[in-house]
A and B are shown apart, each in its own frame.
Chain A
Amino acid sequence: MVAPQLFRSARLLSSRLSTPIRPSFQQSACVPSVLSSRKYATESGVKEVTVRDALNQALAEELEANQKTFILGEEVAQYNGAYKVTKGLLDRFGPKRVIDTPITEAGFCGIAVGAALAGLHPICEFMTFNFAMQAIDHIINSAAKTHYMSGGIQPCNITFRGPNGFAAGVAAQHSQDYSAWYGSIPGLKVVAPWSAEDAKGLLKAAIRDPNPVVVLENELLYGQAFPMSEAAQKDDFVLPIGKAKIERAGKDLTIVTLSRCVGQSLNAAAELKQKYGVDAEVINLRSVKPLDVETIIKSLKKTGRIMCVESGFPMFGVSSEILALSMEYGFDYLTAPAVRVTGAEVPTPYALGLEQMSFPQEDTIVKQAAKLLRL
């Protein structure tokens, strides 16, 4: 396993570890400072909404609009959800449509898939996607494949949702990022919201989509407030699955990222501007599958340089995929080797210092970008 090429990329991956050790329990800033200067601020009717409330709104609106929908999972009803995303839904929609289940992921996921195959539109919440591993067969072998294998007879309009990826102080079995796992399965659609608008628009799209859709939320974003436009506050707001969003336009470097890393990348971009005067373009993927290759390649052609930032493990990940696509579709436009900043190649440790070194931090992104741009 000592191919010279692997060494090179391994070096790149590892310098992500160059994070200063931070004091305990710091709330790492994932709302970019640039937000305050964004266009939202001047728009009328813009409201600050947390990702949690945005998801809650999306659920409430879709439960209201479509009698076929129902939500089930551990602690979703009485307790309002482990992270309070389903707050108030039991009171509003009753125990037939907001269902607490025993601790049997394989059971309630299987039931949800069965209900979807029978024509209902279940929303299946996992306490975290780490526990969806208990039910993975239903998601991959049944939900993703049955429509195809039944010759198109059996529908499977189901939404799987829950927190995914890095959290704080919960160690390896609660911190894994599964974007690449689900992103590799034909038959599934996969979205990963960052902002409140993303959260609402993508979750609603997922529920309405006739296919199985995996909505990868992030625990550290739930409490984060984002400006939400007037249009997004309405109950007809949906975002298209498969379209990325350019969160920050730039000409010198394309940063492709998703979920919580979007905020980190925007902060890094602001620092790059301030320190070096370079303009990074930050693309929020929003959708992992289908992937908006067009937006990525268009940006790459403009900037000539591409970097991926994600919290998954380095190998066979979302970044690996995007780097491969950049090579396939943008090779002639690249003026520097593409780079990825990812989670470390170790099961996430608990100890605070070690944990922080295991995930991309803003200064890692800045440093890697500076290196890529030879600044």
Chain B
Amino acid sequence: MPPKLLGRGAVQIRWRKVATSPRRWGSSISQRPGSDSVRFPGAVNSKFTTQMSFVKPADIPAIPTYRVMDSDGVLVDTDRGPPDVTDAEVLTWYKNMLTVSIMDVIMFEAQRQGRLSFYMVSAGEEGVTVGSAAALSPDDVVFAQYREAGVFQQRGFTLQEFMSQLFSNKNDNGRGRNMPVHYGRKYPKMHTISSTLATQIPQAAGAAYALKLKALQNPNHPASVVACYFGEGAASEGDFHAALNMAATRSCPVIFVCRNNGYAISTPTLEQYRGDGIASRGIGYGIDTIRVDGNDIFAVYEAMQAARKLALEGGPGGGRPILIEAMSYRVSHHSTSDDSFAYRARVEVEDWKRRDNPIIRLRKWLERQGIWDEDRERETREDLRRTILKEFGAAEREKKPALREAFTDVYEEMTDETREQMQELKRILQTYPEEYDLRQYEGGADSL
């Protein structure tokens, strides 16, 4: 762009402050005589060696997995004390996990009955989604993949919003344009889910860069990060690699949360990659990385909280990306279009369902604290089920989006051509009213 186009109106950014990394021209690199380490521009701290040996990934110990409580809901390291959260908070988390889990069962069944075309459950991953979202502030921005209903739930997405989207009725934020589970919300901001895998990862880095610039321009802007969720399968896309490198070089305050659930549809992790999970890749890109036990909601929460702090370190203009790999197991089928028993044993699934499951683990914890019991469990479940079914029924009966919504938002402002097409449709609908049953559409032909 010719410089003069930037004009006086353009926002003044003090670019020099943005550059936290050493200025390029200041990093003149040369080999000092007699030094024991390399000073090549591309590797500044590498020691010389006379041993010719290849680095063998197998010789490097696997990155450890952070956990706070074990699968019986018992604090592993008693010296450190319990997690710093109130009972009330933990109970909210637990109810949010239950809500998503019960909604999943109901909606999966509803799809089987043909009441919606598609659904994806997140069974086994409620700990990762609810726990990580709990560490975010409302101004933080989320990019999700599709199995993050828990993030939406924890950030205040209502059952009515879930159901309206799933039934693509007139209250759907997406106006009936998206497949089920492609939720989106303006505030707290959660970008509408995109079907194309991994595209959200570089976009999240870009959005984080925008947040960083915003903070620079406006000191009153609350410091915020982007949380970006994706599966270990999606991490095979080029977009993942591009995103991590860009986020690292531009120091973007973004937390990459990889949900490693063992499968990408039918592809097991062994066929997806050969390295030490996804975490090892973060290190390669110079990103602070942690692996956590995704079935341990406290571990996820604490890691996310710490990651958020690190990502914002250095104040406005600072910041950096963080990678969290949360290990779990996809208990469910990939989606309603999948039958996972075609590629994995039923017992394997049953084992994970019962023996190590984020909801059961937290329940055990709560019971040990004496703030939960069988009765409360039953009551809460019944209560949630009733509420969900109520919203389900209401959303299913609700009118469909206005016909007009087929045309709006293709562009910010409707083009003359589109308007013309809409008027033509209206004319036809009004000329042949007996031919078209428009009762289920909000506003009928008048919406056009």
Contacts and interface: CB of A to CB of B under 8 A. Distances in A.
Interface of A: 1-2, 6-7, 10-11, 13-15, 17-18, 20-21, 24-25, 74-75, 78-79, 82, 100, 102-107, 130-131, 133-134, 168-174, 344-347, 349-354, 357-358
A239 to B, nearest CB: 31
Nearest to A354: B406
Given A102-B271, A104-B237, A354-B176, A2 B416 contact: yes
A17 B421 contact: yes
Contact of A10 (B272, B405, B421): B421
Interface string B227-250: 000000110111100000000000
A349 B406 contact: yes
A171 B266 contact: no
B352 interface: no
The 4 closest A-B pairs by CB, nearest first: A351-B176, A169-B117, A14-B421, A102-B236
B425 A106 contact: no
Nearest to A133: B196
A354 B401 contact: yes
B203 interface: no
Given A102-B264, A171-B182, A354-B177, 19 more contacts: A10-B420, A11-B421, A14-B424, A20-B435, A75-B265, A78-B266, A100-B271, A103-B197, A103-B234, A106-B237, A130-B196, A134-B238, A134-B239, A171-B179, A173-B194, A347-B177, A350-B176, A350-B179, A353-B441
B195 interface: yes
B271 to A, nearest CB: 6
Contact of B343 (A11, A14, A79): A79
A349 B422 CA distance: 15
A11 B424 contact: yes
A42 B397 CA distance: 50
B436 interface: yes
B310 to A, nearest CB: 29
Chief secondary structure at chain A's binding surface: loop
Query: Among B118, B176, B421, which residue has the most Cβ atoms of chain A within 10 A?
Result: B421
A168 B117 contact: yes
Contacts of A14: 420-422, 424-425
A171 B195 contact: yes
Given A107-B238, A354-B176, A346 B417 contact: no
B374 to A, nearest CB: 41
A88 to B, nearest CB: 13
A169 B177 CA distance: 10
A169 to B, nearest CB: 3
A1 B417 contact: yes
B137 interface: no
A365 to B, nearest CB: 15
B415 A1 contact: yes
B178 A350 contact: yes
B437 interface: yes
B195 A13 contact: no
Contacts of B421: 10-11, 13-14, 17, 344-345
B342 interface: yes
B387 to A, nearest CB: 25
B438 interface: yes
A125 to B, nearest CB: 14
B416 A18 contact: no
A172 B238 CA distance: 22
Contacts of A74: 265, 267
Contacts of B118: 169-170
14 contacts: A1-B417, A6-B417, A10-B417, A10-B421, A14-B424, A14-B425, A74-B265, A100-B271, A102-B272, A105-B237, A134-B238, A171-B177, A350-B180, A353-B440
B343 A347 contact: no
B108 to A, nearest CB: 16
Contact of A173 (B168, B195, B407): B195
B75 to A, nearest CB: 38
Contact of A103 (B194, B233, B403): B233
Contacts of B285: none
A119 to B, nearest CB: 26
Contact of A15 (B267, B428, B437): B428
Interface string B83-126: 00000000000000000000000000000001001100000000
Query: Among A17, A168, A347, A358, which residue has the most Cβ atoms of chain B within 10 A?
Result: A17
Contacts of B147: none
Given A14-B425, A346-B410, A171 B273 contact: no
B308 interface: no
A133 B199 CA distance: 11
Interface in B104-154: 114, 117-118
B155 interface: no
Interface in B408-432: 410, 415-418, 420-422, 424-425, 428-429, 432
A11 B272 CA distance: 49
A104 B236 contact: yes
B266 A102 contact: no
Contact of A345 (B179, B234, B273, B410): B410
Contacts of A25: 114, 117
B114 A24 contact: yes
A103 B440 contact: no
A79 B406 contact: no
Nearest to B179: A171
A18 B421 CA distance: 11
A100 B268 CA distance: 11
B233 A17 contact: no
B425 A103 contact: no
A358 B237 contact: no
A358 B195 contact: no
A353 B180 CA distance: 15
Given A103-B233, A169-B179, A15 B424 contact: yes
A81 to B, nearest CB: 10
Query: Among B234, B237, B440, B441, which residue has the most Cβ atoms of chain A within 10 A?
Result: B237
A102 B267 contact: yes
Interface in B164-211: 168, 175-180, 182, 194-198
Given A11-B420, A18-B425, A350-B177, A103 B415 contact: no
Query: Among A13, A15, A75, A350, which residue has the most Cβ atoms of chain B within 10 A?
Result: A350
A352 B440 CA distance: 12
Interface in B2-52: none
Contacts of B403: 353-354, 357
B236 A103 contact: yes
B229 to A, nearest CB: 16
